[in-house]
Amino acid sequence: MAGGGFDAPESGSSGLHKQKKYKKGKKIGVRIDMTPMVDVIMLLLTFFILTTTLNTPQIMQINLPKGDESDKVKVDMGDVLYIRVSDKGNPYFSRGLSDGTEAPPEKVEFRDMKAKIEAIYAQNPKLLILLKFDRKMKYNMMVDVLDEINKAAIEKRYSFLKMEDADKEIVTKAGG
């Protein structure tokens, strides 16, 4: 038989031992291709970044007048409360008097500001608050003072004025 017996033992052997023609190879482990997974993760990340809303910065909008001569408003000084804040962050209150002058300033503790403003407003509902801040004080103190005014149960009528040298002297005499 020419080439017909593939399973037949080789010539010269007794047939008891069969020779293995195929060797058992190394067992290959399972390999997972992570490339599509990375693509999916990047798509999800991009989706969430583009669809989330970020915190909008909270800003305080202050509308300042242009300062023309025709824009001046006449105010009775008896309806005015001056709040001056020194460079150390100490607030001082002084009430305007109807004759055009003002009462001596008094130092007010920060924790008592809201109650003090509400008490003054209860006596005079036409109250106008004039705020004067020293340029050397910390900015967060100005924000804290404005927060206390906004927390008070009053009609919010206030204005910012530049702290002049005379105002600094008033604060210094009051102990600031």
User: What's the rounded Cα separation, in Å, for the pair 176 and 94?
Assistant: 14
Neighbours of 95 (CB within 10 A): 19
The domain ranges of the chain are 77-173
CATH H superfamily, domain 77-173 = eRF1 domain 2 (3.30.420.60)
- pLDDT band of residue 13 (cuts 50, 70, 90) is low
User: What's the rounded Cα separation, in Å, for the pair 144 and 159?
Assistant: 16
Q: 154 pLDDT exceeds 70?
A: yes
79-137 pLDDT, tens digit each: 899 999 998 888 999 998 888 888 889 999 988 999 999 999 999 888 889 999 998 88
Could you give the angle at the alpha carbon of 64 between the alpha carbons of 136 and 112, nearest 5°? 55
